[in-house]
Amino acid sequence: MTKSSFIGVLLLTFPALMLAHGPTPQKAKESISIGAPVDKVWEVVKDFGGISKWHGDVKESKGDGKHESGGARTLTFQNGEEIVDELDFYSDKDHEYSYRLKKENVKALPTSSYSVSMSVTKGASPDTSEVTFKSRFYRGDTGNTPSENLNDEAAVKAMNAYFKNGLDGLKKTFEK
């Protein structure tokens, strides 16, 4: 093969290779200000298995009671679908934890994997808190041609809605 033939083959092949890539990581972040001190908000949020008490999308949640790396919870959504999350980091002192998807279910959330951190910090004024969810995740279908309900846009929309609905529920818990 001559040098010019080789270059010609490369130029013809390269555009096809550009299109044949897998998913890129997506991000979601939502925060809310709550009219209650950090310690009071953390007292509710720190129960990793108790999210169904304040998150309207979660019909039932069962945790193993471990508030440390490796602790797990099973969430049942309003549509009856379940996922399992596992703690990676937990800090009572810093009022934060992070977890990841251990058992996926794209009928519950259209993601194939995610890692999430949740934190409670002091708000802008005394006796207020700022609660933040942030995540990095991949769409539900990691192939090159995902369906509309499992593509990047669907995953981003679902994660932002999940965070927003949870934060709204948490706010209602404190600001009745």
Q: What DSSP string runs through the chain?
A: --HHHHHHHHHHHHHHHHH------EEEEEEEEESS-HHHHHHHHT-GGGGGGT-TTEEEEEE-S--STT-EEEEEETTS-EEEEEEEEEETTTTEEEEEEEE--TTTSSEEEEEEEEEEEE-SSTT-EEEEEEEEEEES--SSS--GGGSHHHHHHHHHHHHHHHHHHHHHHH--
Spatial distance between the Cα atoms of 28 and 157, rounded to a whole number of angstroms = 9
What's the pTM value of the predicted model, to 2 decimals?
0.86
CB atoms within 10 A of CB 52: 18
**Paired tokens of 133:** 């969810």
CB atoms within 10 A of CB 13: 10
Report, as an integer, the average pLDDT of 81-89: 98
Give yes or no for a contact between 149 and 133, defined as CB atoms under 8 angstroms apart. no
pLDDT digits (tens, 9 = 90+) for 102-153: 999 999 999 999 999 999 999 998 899 999 999 999 999 999 999 999 999 9
Report, as an integer, the average pLDDT of 147-168: 97
2: pLDDT confidence band, cut at 50, 70 and 90? low
pLDDT digits (tens, 9 = 90+) for 23-82: 899 999 999 999 999 999 999 999 999 999 999 999 999 999 999 999 999 999 999 999
